[in-house]
Amino acid sequence: MRENLLKWLVCPVCGHELKLDIFCCKGNEIIEGKLHCPCDQKFPIIGGVPRLIRDALQEELPQLYPDFFNRNPKLFDDKGKTKENDLSKEKKATMSRFGYEWLSFTDYDCDNFKPFIAPLPEKQELTKSVPVNGNSIFFAKIS
């Protein structure tokens, strides 16, 4: 994670901006660290990826990343809990499968992408830009 990306991240619980503690860097890339919020939520940065998950799912992280948590054993001892602490089994299973696919299929070459977009018109023209929360949303006119 790069420190300049912090401005785009907010706490998924309360929406406040996050503060950063850096544990390990390589160049300008933050490899390990912690993001924390005034609402007492804490989120690890593991392998350069901020893990913005909470409660029941966050409790599974030490099993998935034992090296990180061996180096940082007290990271979540005083972690704040939300009222929605118990996630359904379906949500846990979905998150687990997504994580597995994300890590396991990194070399996916997207064989089906060209046939998927083939019916779409080739030329698109951006016609309008609307500011939303400091960003621009563009609308396309298809000719």
pLDDT at 119: 72
pLDDT at 80: 44
pLDDT band at 84 (very low <50, low <70, confident <90, very high): very low
Query: Would you give the DSSP letter of residue 56?
Result: H
Q: What is the arithmetic mean of pLDDT over 85-111?
A: 67
Q: Sign (positive/negative) of CA torsion 67, 73, 79, 81? A: positive
pLDDT in tens, 41-57: 889 999 999 998 876 67
Distance CA 19, CA 105 (A): 32
Distance CA 1, CA 3 (A): 6
Higher pLDDT, 87 or 80: 87
pLDDT in tens, 4-18: 888 888 888 888 899
